[in-house]
Structure 1
Amino acid sequence: MRTSTFVLLGGVIAAPATAATVTVTIPRQTVAEYHRPYVAIWLEPVGGGSARTVALWYETKKTGKDAGTKYLADLRAWWRKGGRSMTVPADGVSGATRAPGQYAVKLPDNIKPGAYVLNVEAARETGGRELVTLPLTVPTANARAAGKSELGAITLSAR
């Protein structure tokens, strides 16, 4: 029988203290005219300070008079917390809108230890708007929250 040496390496290779993943669920809506939601995911320090955008999903390919950036202000909380001053598309943050399903977003490894609020906001054309907040302490622990309409389960998993 062959034994594995991976156990010995487990103690040597350690993930950074802030290594975590947020899983965002976009539920399927039963409506006549469905549009994929714009979604913003960002962190805010509890004691105040700048918000840090982790992910921004919007119509990145749309051009012309109704460019996809036109509707970013519909993500009202994110827009007020720093979205309006952000240059989009932002490398490593911006991405296309997502269809209903579960999506994993890796939190940055260089977040300083402390207390934060993780915010996930969704807004949909001819639909609703929803903001889900989740307290977060770095180094991280597992946590859960859930939306009621535009967002489903929001899960934070420490790696």
Structure 2
Amino acid sequence: MRKHLLLPLALFSAPLWAAGLEVTVEIPRLQVAEYHRPYVAIWLQNADQSHRANLAIWYDVKMKDKEGEKWLNDLRQWWRRSGRTLELPVDGVSGATRPVGSHSLSFDDSRAPLKDLPPGEYYLVVEAAREVGGREQLRIPFTWPADKPQQHNAQGNSELGALSLELTP
């Protein structure tokens, strides 16, 4: 009879939802003569601005002879902090460039990179660079883990549109 009581107690003691974060990045429509999709790097920084974890790297992953990697150094801040030391493509992080529109990424604390992220102050950083275009970087400060649901936003001016970070406890 005791075994029957333990299972319901175990279910009630386990969290129903994992803590997480959702990032939404908007790639704006630009009225330019020669449009190229931007390369984008999304990563976490520690409070001292040192690199913590890569969340996504969008570039031309399928170009012949890894030719798409040649321009990743145009993502200057990301390249200096992390990119130049990586062996590309990075499984689960590297992906193709994205078209105009909003793109969402979700992460939870049951797997990397949030699984091993210690409590503290961090920045979500998004950097975009485009061939025959410009470069732009947005940063959103946040505290991990969140003690209540939170939404943080930033607005780009050229290569990036709206950026949002949603935290769930």
User: TM-score surpassing 0.5?
Assistant: yes
Describe the shift of the 1:108–1:59 C-alpha distance in structure 2 as closer, same or farther (beyond 3 A): farther
In the other structure, the counterpart of 2:60 is 59
Aligned residues: percent identity?
Answer: 48
Matches of residues 28-67 of structure 1 in structure 2 within 5 Å? 28-47=29-48, 49-64=50-65, 67=67
In the other structure, the counterpart of 1:23 is 24
Contact between 1:35 and 1:125, CA under 8 Å: does it hold in 2? yes
In 1, distance between residues paired with 2:79 and 2:18? 30
**Which of 106, 120, 125 in structure 2 is aligned with 1:119?**
125
Residue ranges of structure 2 left out of the alignment (5+ in a row)? 1-10, 110-114
Describe the shift of the 1:10–1:128 C-alpha distance in structure 2 as closer, same or farther (beyond 3 A): farther
Partner amino acid, structure 2, of 1:112: P
Cα RMSD (Å): 2.0
The structure with the largest alpha-carbon Rg is 2
Contact between 2:18 and 2:108, CA under 8 Å: does it hold in 1? no
Cα deviation, residue 133, structure 1 = 0.5
Are 2:164 and 1:158 aligned? no
In 2, distance between residues paired with 1:123 and 1:10? 47
In 1, distance between residues paired with 2:162 and 2:49? 26
Number of positions where the alignment pairs a residue of Structure 1 with one of Structure 2:
149
Partner amino acid, structure 2, of 1:67: E
In 2, distance between residues paired with 1:32 and 1:69? 24
In the other structure, the counterpart of 2:83 is 83
CA deviation map 1:47-91 (0-9, x unaligned): 465431100000000013x70000000000000111100111001
Residue ranges of structure 1 left out of the alignment (5+ in a row)? 1-8
TM-score, normalised by the number of residues in structure 1: 0.86
Contact between 1:51 and 1:81, CA under 8 Å: does it hold in 2? no
**Which of 137, 143, 157 in structure 1 is aligned with 2:152?**
143
In the other structure, the counterpart of 2:100 is 100
In 1, distance between residues paired with 2:92 and 2:99? 20
In 1, distance between residues paired with 2:106 and 2:157? 23
CA deviation map 1:26-62 (0-9, x unaligned): 0001111100000000001104654311000000000
Quick check: which one's helix share is greater? 2
In 2, distance between residues paired with 1:85 and 1:61? 20
